Amino acid sequence: MPSRDRDRATDAMVARTSHARAAGSQASSAALVPYLVVLVCVAAGIYIAWHEGSHGGGKGGVIAGVALLVAAAVRLALPTRLAGLLAVRHRATDVVTLIVLGVSLLTAGLVLPGLRVAHRTRSAQSPRGRTVAAGR
């Protein structure tokens, strides 16, 4: 009789473990969604910046920067078990890091195309072929 009780206990434990494993796998699958969304958006921004070069680099930087800022908001809002791979260190560290990187890319994406236009405008306005005095 004791072996029969042991078999029942083992069967009950296996049922509980597999149920817990199934619930845990659903949570881990749901935790991958925010990470994958951010990863795809940042990759799209980098692709746009790389593919279009100096003409579209600003758009790519803006897209990647906004994606990282959204990742910071998601990391701040979701609990650690649902944040998935966005949760690397402590919540505050993750959020500050994502905000700094996002703001940096966003700033670069907004400022650098404007500098290119300003440089082109300045070079068009300056007279070319100006001679320098011999004594100076």
Residue 67 lies in a domain: yes
Residue 132 lies in a domain: no
Residue 103 lies in a domain: yes
pLDDT for position 58: 85
Residue 40 lies in a domain: yes
> pLDDT tier at 92 (50, 70, 90 boundaries)?
very high
State the chain's mean pLDDT as an integer: 77
Number of structural domains the chain divides into: 1
Distance between CA 86 and CA 97 in Å, rounded? 11
Burial of 13 (0-12, 13-18, 19+ CB in 10 A): exposed
Residue 37 lies in a domain: yes
pLDDT of residue 22 exceeding 50, the answer is: no
pLDDT for position 101: 96
Distance between CA 106 and CA 27 in Å, rounded? 32
pLDDT of residue 48 exceeding 70, the answer is: yes
pLDDT for position 95: 95
Residue 51 lies in a domain: yes
Which residues constitute the domain of residue 55?
A: 21-114
pLDDT of residue 110 exceeding 70, the answer is: yes
pLDDT for position 84: 84
Residue 8 lies in a domain: no
Q: Which residue has the higher pLDDT, 29 or 43?
A: 43
> pLDDT tier at 34 (50, 70, 90 boundaries)?
confident
Global pTM value? 0.65
Query: What is the pLDDT averaged over residues 81-106?
Result: 91
**Helix (H/G/I), strand (E/B), else coil: 1:** coil
pLDDT of residue 20 exceeding 80, the answer is: no
Residue 28 lies in a domain: yes
